[in-house]
Amino acid sequence: MARCFVTRTLPGDAVERLAREHDVEVWPDTMPPSRDEIARRLEDGVEGLLTLLTDAIDGDLLSRAPALRSIANYAVGSDNVDVDAATARGVPVGTTPDVLTETTADLTWALMLAAARRLAEGDAVVRSGGWRTWEPNGLLGRDVHGATLGLVGVGRIGGAVARRAEGFGMEVLRHGRSGGVALDELLERSDFVSLHCPLTEETRGLVGERALGRMRPTAVLVNTSRGPIVDTDALAGALHDGRIAAAALDVTDPEPLPADHPLLAAPNLLVVPHVGSATHATRAAMADMAVDNLLAALAGKRMPYCANPEVYG
């Protein structure tokens, strides 16, 4: 029986499954455990750690974890974990790919449609009693059907977004590591630019002043990947100055944005609290995958969904 620390309560019954085999502590609060709380458990001999994207697991923490044998991250990404440091210590890092692909693609489309058709403004005006009559010029938006969609990142989620675009008769441009058009061409030609790349040193700040300057003044930026891929201040400036038409964000940098952040005062911004994978079925499936990763690693087997398979030699 190994000691495990799960940094938040997860949906579904996956953690019960883990607890049938191991000694499991679940952090009970809604807010994440502090770095010190995590460090204390690692120093005390935790062998299996189940983390969320809000837990920063860096090299220093890992050096204070003498018994740690496995990290299962409850996310498709692993950017909150220093994977190189984990690899150097022989610790496999698990992720939850595939299972959230379609759900995140659905949310991307919800954001794209909502931003294009100004749904948040429409909802607010009806609720406030500000809607007086049907108007020919009221809340005019942009057509999604027949428009050009530029996908930055053409992995699983980008692919699922592209499939949905077929139904809307869109032209789809792609830019990714494995090919497609040049980023500048995509930015210049797209009516909607949607980000689907992982956060790496290469993609951090990818959409900054320069990239935003290449976009059309009528274009909409959608981000359901990771907040730091977009330069928050540059985006706030572009929206305030009307250099792009709108942005729809599931992710921001930082998360959450402080209530007085200039981005939140920008016109034509739709922002939701990192809910890309937030359906009952998908979040439970992610918990199952994360627990499967921990159970395998703690049993001395290969993690089924591993971000650093090189630990297995």
Active site residues: 226, 255, 274
SS3 content of the chain, % helix, strand, coil (to 5): 35, 15, 45
Alpha carbons 149 and 186: distance in angstroms, whole number: 9
In the region spanning residues 35 to 74, those forming contacts with ligand DGY, defined by CB under 6 A, are 53
- Per rule CB under 6 A, is residue 257 in the interface with ligand DGY? no
Alpha carbons 47 and 75: distance in angstroms, whole number: 20
- Backbone phi and psi for residue 126, each to the nearest 5 degrees, phi listed first: -65, -45
Given candidates 55, 272, 276, 292, which one binds ligand DGY under the rule CB under 6 A? 276
- Contacts with ligand DGY: how many residues (CB under 6 A)? 8
- Backbone phi and psi for residue 4, each to the nearest 5 degrees, phi listed first: -125, 145
- Backbone phi and psi for residue 93, each to the nearest 5 degrees, phi listed first: -115, 120
- Per rule CB under 6 A, is residue 228 in the interface with ligand DGY? no
Q: How far is the CB of 267 from ligand DGY (least distance, A)?
A: 26
Given candidates 50, 75, 152, 271, which one binds ligand DGY under the rule CB under 6 A? 75
CB closer to ligand DGY, 160 vs 187: 160
**Cβ contacts of 160 within 8 Å, gap of 6 or more:** 101, 102, 104, 105
Q: How many CA atoms lie within 13 A of 228 on its CB side?
A: 10
- Per rule CB under 6 A, is residue 100 in the interface with ligand DGY? yes
CB closer to ligand DGY, 3 vs 196: 196
Q: How far is the CB of 293 from ligand DGY (least distance, A)?
A: 13
**Cβ contacts of 203 within 8 Å, gap of 6 or more:** 197, 226, 229
List, in sequence order, the alpha helices (H) in the chain. 14-21, 35-43, 59-63, 83-88, 101-116, 119-127, 156-167, 183-189, 209-214, 232-240, 280-298
Stretches 1-9, 164-172, 205-213, 271-279: which one binds ligand DGY (CB under 6 A)?
A: 271-279
Q: How far is the CB of 11 from ligand DGY (least distance, A)?
A: 13
Q: How far is the CB of 53 from ligand DGY (least distance, A)?
A: 6
Q: How far is the CB of 287 from ligand DGY (least distance, A)?
A: 12
CB closer to ligand DGY, 31 vs 140: 31
- Per rule CB under 6 A, is residue 77 in the interface with ligand DGY? yes
- Per rule CB under 6 A, is residue 76 in the interface with ligand DGY? yes
Name the packing angle between helices 156-167 and 101-116 (round to 10°). Answer: 50
Given candidates 203, 277, 293, 308, which one binds ligand DGY under the rule CB under 6 A? 277
* Residues that bind ligand DGY in the complex, under the rule CB under 6 A: 53, 75-77, 100, 274, 276-277
